[in-house]
Amino acid sequence: NAGVMQNPRHLVRRRGQEARLRCSPMKGHSHVYWYRQLPEEGLKFMVYLQKENIIDESGMPKERFSAEFPKEGPSILRIQQVVRGDSAAYFCASSPGQGVRGETQYFGPGTRLLVL
């Protein structure tokens, strides 16, 4: 499967625990994006990363949320001390990063986080 991979597909956490969501971009893609979708809403941009760099984190909550895209390995979205309001579907997307204006982002299947 050469598509964007996300794991786990489903994650259950209790309030106060940490959630780690992983995303492996499509082969050859160097740009990764994270989006969050709350029930009955559209996708909301969170953060845009290139390898070892955060390019745009304007959509990321200032506290408890962090993201990284290391030189080796998947991109990680980390949510510390989760609260019930963090329950959502988190989608990762990747793009080739060729500098094409508005290049298409290819989405993974998402991780559905449930905070009890």
Partner 1 sequence: DQQVKQNSPSLSVQEGRISILNCDYTNSMFDYFLWYKKYPAEGPTFLISISSIKDKNEDGRFTVFLNKSAKHLSLHIVPSQPGDSAVYFCAASAGNYGQNFVFGPGTRLSVLP
Shortest CB 108 distance to partner 1, Å: 5
Binding status of residue 106 toward partner 1 by CB under 8 A: yes
Identity of residue 71: K
- DSSP letter (8 states) at residue 100: -
Query: In this structure, how many other beta carbons lie within 10 angstroms of the beta carbon of residue 32?
Result: 29
Stretch that binds partner 1, among 11-19, 64-72, 76-84, 90-98 (CB under 8 A): 90-98
Binding status of residue 44 toward partner 1 by CB under 8 A: yes
Binding status of residue 110 toward partner 1 by CB under 8 A: yes
> Nearest to residue 33, comparing CAs of 15, 13, 56, 16?
56
**Cα–Cα dist 74/22, whole Å:** 6
**Cα–Cα dist 92/22, whole Å:** 9
Binding status of residue 72 toward partner 1 by CB under 8 A: no
Q: Which of 11, 19, 21, 43 binds partner 1 (CB under 8 A)?
A: 43
Residues that bind partner 1 (CB under 8 A): 4, 6, 31, 33, 35, 40-45, 48, 55-56, 58-59, 91, 93, 95, 99, 101-110
